[in-house]
Amino acid sequence: MSVTVDIWTDINCPFCYLGKKRFLDALSEFPGRDDVAVVHRSFELDPTLDPGTSGSVEDHLATKYGISLDQARANEARVGAQAAELGLPYQTSGRDFGSSFDMHRLLHHALAVGKQEDLLDALYAANFGETEPLFGDRARLVAVAVGAGLDELQVCAVLNDPEAYADDVRQDEQEAAALGVTGVPFFVIDGKYAVSGAQPTEVFERALTMAAADRPVVVGASADAECGPDGCAVPQS
Amino acid sequence: MSVTVDIWTDINCPFCYLGKKRFLDALSEFPGRDDVAVVHRSFELDPTLDPGTSGSVEDHLATKYGISLDQARANEARVGAQAAELGLPYQTSGRDFGSSFDMHRLLHHALAVGKQEDLLDALYAANFGETEPLFGDRARLVAVAVGAGLDELQVCAVLNDPEAYADDVRQDEQEAAALGVTGVPFFVIDGKYAVSGAQPTEVFERALTMAAADRPVVVGASADAECGPDGCAVPQS
């Protein structure tokens, strides 16, 4: 049997970058990995931003949390340390934050031509691993997409038409809202099991194993009110 | 949308009797209760017993747990107190324990004629609410089934043919084994959420609500490694 994994993600989201690595670590050890199909779904941390807008990550963090720039930098350093533990490059200063709508449209285009994973990895690498701004630099976005194997003319055609794949992005976001997703990364395995956040690799392993076995998820604690072959959970006195 | 609930149960199992009440309490308050279909599935606590065999519950408990008869009686009294809290009659002495295979065959017959719930309630009431033995008294079993609205000739025909509905019972038990069920009651809601044991009513409410919303179950703890509209779970310093 095959297993489908839908991952809601945003390019602005450092824990999506870390979570993808942890998920892939779990997947690479999963016995049924060849039957697992992964689709990356769109989620914008700030859907109110107009496409093209961007600004410094540190400024954004300071404003969002009401903290100083130094504190914002310290926060970034902490995330960078977590990335380093996973062997992921992470620039803790100089990155920008901005509208990811166009990137999500490109990811849907990439899905259509079989290069979604390549593009997502390239976007993560460009955004988190290098200091040049990605959100505020259209030419760089094109170069990154081409570097991921996409056709330059097609990439420009998608970026030049603001409605290209826009409904796909919105549909992903509506589906996330219907599922009650409030943060990313959010992994849904066979529509049945969800993992919220960049959980440890073991959590992904467990979710994959349960989905493959098609077992229902047990709700609530168990055991002291059931009857089994050894009796009925009657306390011995 | 409709919700299906499969409940694996054994007539010998006091927590199945209690759990059914708690589940029904939750169901009666559930807004979508009219769209919930319940099917009772077969589970034998001791499938090695031959049909017709039975013995005293107290003796059975004492042997199973290696405790004295007085301790076995005290255990039964504790379960009886829990039953009383739910308003369920429970005889704490004089009951018998035995093979439930024929009762499960009758429950499948009752399902076929639309009287499964009536028969299960009648079997529970006769086993737990009255002191006369049920497992060791074929004539009484027939009387209970007829009292639940089943046709006496059909009941006798089922009981006289040891293979009538026997494969249905075995199929339920095989399905339970495939799901990893080791104790009953075991509730499976839409094949997706499971509740193991006679859990508090709130647990059943939660499981019904999640199933009706068709939400994936979140595996693992959440929150400190995800990005939402308010930021990326970055601790403030």
Region A37-55: mean pLDDT is 92
B83/B224: higher pLDDT: B83
Region B181-206: mean pLDDT is 88
Residue to substitute from B41, B218, B230, B236, interface A, most A β-carbons within 10 A = B218
Q: Determine the distance in angstroms separating the CA of B227 from the nearest CA of chain A, rounded to an integer.
A: 5
Separation of CA A159 from chain center = 22
Interface ipTM? 0.80
- pLDDT of A237: 45
Report H helices in A69-200. 69-85, 101-112, 116-129, 138-147, 152-160, 166-179
Separation of CA B82 from chain center = 16
Q: Is the bond into B229 cis (omega within 30 degrees of 0)?
A: no
What residue of A is the nearest CA neighbor of B83? A225
Burial zone of A34 (CB within 10 Å; 0-12 exposed, 13-18 middle, 19+ buried): exposed
Query: Which run of H or of E encompasses B29?
Result: helix B14-29
Buried/exposed code over B159-184 (b: 16+ C-beta within 10 A; e: otherwise): beeeebbbebbeebbebbeebebebb
Residues in contact with A217: Cβ distance below 8 Å, sequence separation at least 6, in sequence order: A192, A193, A210, B192, B193, B194, B217, B219
Q: Is the bond into B185 cis (omega within 30 degrees of 0)?
A: yes
What residue of B is the nearest CA neighbor of A226? B197
Q: What is d(CA B82, CA B88) in angstroms, rounded to the nearest whole number?
A: 9
Locus of tokens 């701004």:
A133
**Is the pTM value of this prediction over 0.90?**
no
> What tokens appear for B232 in the block?
């990326």
Residues in contact with B70: Cβ distance below 8 Å, sequence separation at least 6, in sequence order: none
Q: What is d(CA A178, CA A172) in angstroms, rounded to the nearest whole number?
A: 10
What residue of A is the nearest CA neighbor of B217? A193
Residue to substitute from B199, B201, B205, B234, interface A, most A β-carbons within 10 A = B234
Region A8-17: mean pLDDT is 96
* Superfamily designation of domain B3-213: Glutaredoxin (3.40.30.10)
> What tokens appear for B220 in the block?
């693992």
B21-32 residue pLDDT tens: 999 999 999 998
A220/B114: higher pLDDT: B114
Contacts of B218 in chain A (CB under 8 A): 194-196
Q: Determine the distance in angstroms separating the CA of A195 from the nearest CA of chain B, rounded to an integer.
A: 5
Q: What is d(CA B107, CA B114) in angstroms, rounded to the nearest whole number?
A: 10
Name which of A215, A227, A235 is nearest B16 (Cβ-Cβ): A227
> Which pairing describes strands B186-189 and B193-196: parallel, antiparallel, or unpaired?
antiparallel
Q: What is d(CA A162, CA A135) in angstroms, rounded to the nearest whole number?
A: 16
Q: What is d(CA B128, CA B4) in angstroms, rounded to the nearest whole number?
A: 27
- pLDDT of A179: 85
Mean pLDDT computed over every residue of chain A: 90
Model confidence at A10: pLDDT above 70? yes
Name which of A207, A223, A228 is nearest B219 (Cβ-Cβ): A207
Q: Torsion-angle region of residue B153: left (phi > 0), alpha (psi -120 to 50) or beta?
A: alpha
Region A48-61: mean pLDDT is 88
> What tokens appear for A31 in the block?
């016995």
Kindly report the number of other CB atoms within 10 A of residue A101's CB atom.
23
- pLDDT of A236: 47
A170-197 residue pLDDT tens: 999 999 998 888 899 999 998 888 888 8
Residues in contact with A2: Cβ distance below 8 Å, sequence separation at least 6, in sequence order: A35, A36, A37
Model confidence at B192: pLDDT above 60? yes
Give the up-direction half-sphere exposure of residue A204: CA atoms within 13 A in the CB hemisphere.
26
Is the four-CA dihedral A155, A44, B217, B27 of positive or negative sign? negative
B182/A154: higher pLDDT: A154
**pLDDT tier for residue B3 given thresholds of 50, 70 and 90:** confident
